[in-house]
């Protein structure tokens, strides 16, 4: 039997369609033709001779875009590969992922950018946009060759995991990146204040006997980088914002017209430092889980538009990496597969965030932040879409993890809302549905 899946032209009918640009969710039907969005009809049914996917009860949206993930390849294939990381991304509803430069070798040479793009094309799970190193070897001193990296396919520049401490180097990097309109993604952390730190500095760190990581370590770095962005007029993107003080600096900078954007992670929005009383190494992240005041500020910043997008900071580590004393465990958790379900359960169903706003923060917001294609429903654009059952209750089982690593505190967690699959240029990748 020939179904819609075998056709180059078919309708997706009966779904609620989330349009992040219009900030609306409406019933509609969407026509896919030769891998592109051909038409959207704002009606529940369509009279047609073409094959039809009955998506009644589902939510159809642009495919999610993640501007911050670690795919670990090349160099750390025991943690993740481009193929396994993008498989997890697709299962989480992502049709595009930006991968960070802290691989081995570091992404500071065009050949490494090209290698990652080749691996992504072979895997064919979702689009992959490499982010190249801001400085050679992530050393923080010698500027990389931005034009060559851009021409090879890099979409942004970052020494993620390391803050460029030398202010003169950072100024030069912003000025040079500005010549090519490449965004600079800053990991804001004053390392002299976080040496040997294990968790957010506060009551819980004192109670648990773990060295504290002060909020000021992030805020000092945010303040300096925002001032340099203002000085140079270049594009600055702040990675994984985590404190109320950073939000305050960001808001003032935007009000002053500085070209700055910011992201926040699902775990910084939904988990706090009190959870570390179990000493679960999967809850150790960089920056650390903060307290309730910071979480409230981050959520408010999402609602009022101060923070532009949600990014996973998907950071795979092997079980051996994490099966050590808390002080020796590397920071990071995986998150591509659970981001939507976690945020829908914790923020949308509790009334903290509208569903259409969550979709916007996972699609149009990140795409516009780094100037990437996608994130919107527009005739002629590639049919990169996600289909979601927002009512399905399910449990995240360890066996269902597609990432090569398992470092997540969410195993066994019950969620409401599940990605059923994605369309990548109109081609269906099923997670659940087989129709």
Q: Would you name the residues annotated as active-site residues?
A: 313
C-alpha 336/C-alpha 311 separation (Å) is: 9
Q: Which run of H or E residues covers position 67?
A: strand 64-69
User: Do residues 167 and 173 touch, judged by C-beta distance below 8 A?
Assistant: no
Contacts of 49 (CB under 8 A, 6+ apart): none
CA terminus-to-terminus distance, the chain: 12
Nearest to 120 by CA among 153, 147, 145, 146: 153
Query: Is 190 within 8 Å of 217 (Cβ atoms)?
Result: yes
DSSP string, 69-103: E---TTT-TTT--HHHHHHHHHHTTEEEEEE-S-S
Instruction: Report yes or no: 54 and 88 within 8 Å, Cβ to Cβ.
Output: no
Q: What are phi and psi of 24, to 5 degrees?
A: -135, 150
User: Cα dihedral sign for 114, 117, 119, 121?
Assistant: negative
Q: How far apart are CA 77 and CA 318, in angstroms?
A: 10
Which of helix, strand or coil describes residue 176? Answer: helix
Task: Identify the bridge partners of residue 185 per DSSP, sorted by sequence position.
Answer: 158, 237
Which parts of 344-426 fold into alpha helices (H)? 355-362, 364-370
Cis status of the peptide bond prior to 406, with omega within 30 of 0: no
| Sole residue written with tokens 């950018």 | 113
Pairing state between β 64-69 and 59-62: unpaired
Structure tokens at 385: 């879409």
Question: Residues, the chain, total?
Answer: 435
In this structure, are residues 317 and 79 in contact, taking their beta carbons and an 8 Å threshold?
Answer: yes
How far apart CA 354 and CA 352 sit, in angstroms, is: 7
Q: Distance between CA atoms of 153 and 131, rounded to whole angstroms?
A: 9
Tokens of residue 82, six digits? 């481009």
């Amino acid at each position: 039997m020939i179904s819609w899946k075998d056709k180059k032209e078919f309708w997706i009918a009966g779904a609620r369609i989330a349009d992040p640009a219009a900030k609306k969710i409406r019933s509609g039907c969407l026509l896919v033709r030769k891998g592109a969005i051909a038409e959207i009809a704002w009606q529940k049914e369509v009279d047609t001779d073409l094959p039809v996917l009955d998506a009644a009860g589902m939510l159809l949206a642009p495919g999610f875009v993640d501007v911050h993930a670690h795919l670990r390849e090349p160099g750390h294939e025991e943690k993740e590969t481009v193929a396994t990381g993008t498989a997890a991304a697709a299962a989480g509803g992502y049709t595009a992922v930006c991968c960070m430069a802290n691989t081995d070798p570091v992404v500071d040479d065009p050949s490494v950018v090209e290698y990652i793009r080749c691996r992504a094309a072979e895997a064919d799970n979702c689009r992959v946009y490499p982010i190249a190193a801001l400085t050679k070897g992530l050393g923080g001193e010698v500027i990389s060759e931005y034009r060559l990296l851009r021409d090879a396919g890099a979409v942004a520049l970052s020494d993620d995991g390391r803050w460029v401490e030398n202010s003169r180097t950072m100024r030069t990097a912003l000025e040079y990146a500005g010549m090519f309109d490449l965004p600079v993604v800053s990991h804001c952390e004053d390392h002299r204040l976080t040496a040997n730190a294990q968790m957010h500095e506060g009551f819980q760190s004192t109670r648990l006997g773990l060295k504290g990581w002060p909020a000021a370590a992030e805020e000092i770095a945010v303040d300096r980088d925002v001032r340099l962005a203002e000085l140079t007029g270049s594009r600055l993107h702040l990675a994984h914002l985590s404190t109320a003080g950073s939000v305050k600096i960001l808001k003032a900078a935007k009000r002053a017209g500085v070209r700055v954007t910011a992201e926040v992670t699902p775990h910084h929005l939904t988990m706090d430092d009190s959870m570390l009383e179990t000493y679960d190494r999967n809850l150790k992240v960089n920056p650390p889980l903060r307290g309730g005041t910071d979480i409230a500020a981050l959520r408010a910043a999402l609602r009022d538009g101060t923070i532009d997008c949600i990014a996973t900071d998907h950071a795979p580590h092997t079980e051996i990496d994490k099966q050590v004393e808390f002080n020796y465990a590397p920071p990071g958790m995986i998150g591509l597969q659970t981001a939507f379900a976690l945020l829908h359960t914790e923020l949308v169903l509790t009334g903290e965030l509208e569903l259409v706003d969550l979709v916007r923060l996972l699609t149009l917001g990140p795409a516009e932040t780094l100037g990437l294609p996608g994130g919107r429903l527009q005739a002629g654009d590639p049919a990169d879409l996600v289909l979601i059952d927002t009512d399905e209750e399910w449990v995240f089982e360890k066996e269902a993890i597609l990432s090569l690593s398992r470092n997540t505190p969410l195993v066994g967690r019950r969620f409401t809302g599940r990605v059923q699959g994605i369309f990548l240029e109109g081609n269906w990748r099923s997670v659940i549905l087989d129709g």
